[in-house]
Amino acid sequence: MTKIHIAITTDSGIYKHWGIFLDSAKTILQVRGSDRRFRYEPEDRDARDLDGLDELIFLCDVDEEKTRRVRRVASMVPVRSEVHGWNCQDWVMEVLDRLEEEGFRYFYVRGKMEGLV
């Protein structure tokens, strides 16, 4: 079984960085970049070792087949660099929405999203 988390870190950007952490694989599915220059960039790394790690939010446990589905869905979610203000938090929420459409159930995290005040 793989535990899936949202990894939230503070980095040099305006907003906190979000990624989807696949625990047993030690992989972070994420988009990196800045406004209008984001790219899908998964990283083989344990999120617990990230500088500035603020929180790991547990979502669910999945078997290996579902882990592959999570990777596939994440790789297919579009990076919307053409949208001003779009960021990694929006991408994570879109991945989670698509996973929910496929029957995944997880802890509610939308309330943690940040926006411009």
Q: Where are the domains of the chain?
A: 2-109
The residues near 2 (Cβ < 8 Å, ≥ 6 apart) are 22, 23, 24, 25, 61, 62, 63, 64, 66, 67
DSSP letter for 34, please: S
pTM for the predicted model, two decimal places: 0.89
pLDDT tens digits, one per residue of 20-75: 999 999 999 999 998 889 999 999 999 999 999 999 999 989 998 899 999 999 99
pLDDT for res 34: 85
**Closest residue by Cα to residue 18 from 76, 87, 111, 66:** 87
Dist CA 106 CA 14 (whole Å): 27
